[in-house]
């Protein structure tokens, strides 16, 4: 079945540095990918919708200059957390839909990336 | 705007007990509804989904959910839980719009004791 690969699975970085998270659709093309953030014991929060070949659409309250999203190809979207701070520590999850399976096909999720900023 | 409400944040059951997790949504139009499960240390997986037709939807691992339009509900049920069902469960509604965003509930953490 369709698989979404997310890398790295966990990362520790120092405050002020930037971290890039990759999300790949392995056996399907994804014109749209979604980036979520999960706080401990809380629900997933949609951060942005990544669109291949165009600018990402950010949800209200999400800083687009801090969370840079690039969707350069039909199988890869990246989320870069710039100038990371400890409050950015969280679990980030990407998802994608295999549009080739129809518009009602379910979302496939990556395994998530746990970011810890020290 | 669409929203999803899960009333039970933390549920503790013994094995073989029956399970029902509540989910209510707010949206007046046609809805697509989902239940996802996240096992410890794993990614979210789709349990079941409702688009149209029979309001009683059967999913994987013995789970089912019933769509009751008049109550704006989509509760998840399982007649007899197992220890391996320990996980976090998320109800979600497919929002309208060009990108079909999924809006999630807050999740319910289920712990099943042997």
Closest residue of B to A33, CA-based?
A: B99
pLDDT at position A43 = 58
pLDDT at position A101 = 66
Model pLDDT for residues B41-91, shown as the tens digit of each residue: 666 778 998 888 999 999 999 999 999 999 999 999 999 999 999 998 999
**Cis status, amide bond into B44, omega within 30 of 0:** no
pLDDT at position A102 = 62
Which region, left, alpha or beta, applies to residue B69 given φ > 0 means left and ψ of -120 to 50 means alpha?
Answer: alpha
Nearest to B43 among A51, A103, A111 (CB): A111
Residue B14 has pLDDT above 90, yes or no: yes
- Full DSSP string of A29-83: --SEEEEEEE-TTS-EEEEEEEETTS--EEPTT--TTTEEEEEEETTEEEEEE-S
Q: Mean pLDDT across the stretch A51-60?
A: 88
Higher pLDDT pick, A33 / B80: B80
Contact B44 A93 (CB under 8 A): yes
Q: Mean pLDDT across the stretch A58-78?
A: 92
Q: Residue A31: which pLDDT band, with cuts at 50, 70 and 90?
A: confident
Spatial CA neighbour of B32 closest among B101, B98, B107: B101
Retrieve residue A111's tokens: 């395994």
Chain A and chain B share a number of CB contacts under 8 A equal to 45
Q: Residue B104: which pLDDT band, with cuts at 50, 70 and 90?
A: confident
User: How far is it, in rounded angstroms, from Cα B40 to Cα B32?
Assistant: 26
Chain B positions in Cβ-Cβ contact with residue A104 (cut-off 8 Å) = 32, 51
Torsion of CA A49, A55, A61, A67, to 10 degrees: 90
Q: B30 — phi, psi (to 5°)?
A: -65, 135
Spatial CA neighbour of A105 closest among B102, B38, B40: B102
Contact B99 A32 (CB under 8 A): yes
Q: Mean pLDDT across the stretch A24-49?
A: 81
B20's enclosing H/E stretch is strand B19-21
Task: State what percent of residues in chain A have pLDDT above 70.
Answer: 86
Distance from CA of A9 to the nearest CA of B (A): 11
């Amino acid at each position: 079945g369709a698989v979404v690969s997310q890398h790295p699975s966990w990362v520790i970085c120092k405050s002020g540095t930037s971290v890039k998270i990759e999300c790949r659709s392995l056996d399907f093309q994804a014109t749209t990918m979604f980036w979520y953030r999960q706080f401990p014991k809380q629900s997933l929060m949609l951060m942005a919708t990544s669109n291949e070949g165009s600018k990402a659409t950010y949800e209200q309250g999400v800083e687009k200059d801090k969370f840079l999203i690039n969707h350069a190809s039909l199988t890869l979207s990246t989320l870069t957390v710039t100038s990371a701070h400890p409050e950015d520590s969280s679990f980030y999850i990407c998802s994608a839909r295999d549009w080739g399976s129809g518009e009602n096909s379910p979302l496939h999720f990556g395994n998530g990336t746990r970011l810890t900023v020290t | 705007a669409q929203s999803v409400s899960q009333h039970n944040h933390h549920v503790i059951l013994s094995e073989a007990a029956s399970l029902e997790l509540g989910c209510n949504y707010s949206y007046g139009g046609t809805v697509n509804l989902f239940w996802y499960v996240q096992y410890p240390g794993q990614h979210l997986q789709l349990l079941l989904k409702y688009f149209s037709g029979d309001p009683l939807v059967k999913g994987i691992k013995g789970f089912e959910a019933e769509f009751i339009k008049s109550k704006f509900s989509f509760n998840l049920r399982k007649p007899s839980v197992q220890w391996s069902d320990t996980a976090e469960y998320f109800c979600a509604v497919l929002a309208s719009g060009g990108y079909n965003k999924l809006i999630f509930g807050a999740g319910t953490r289920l712990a099943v004791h042997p």
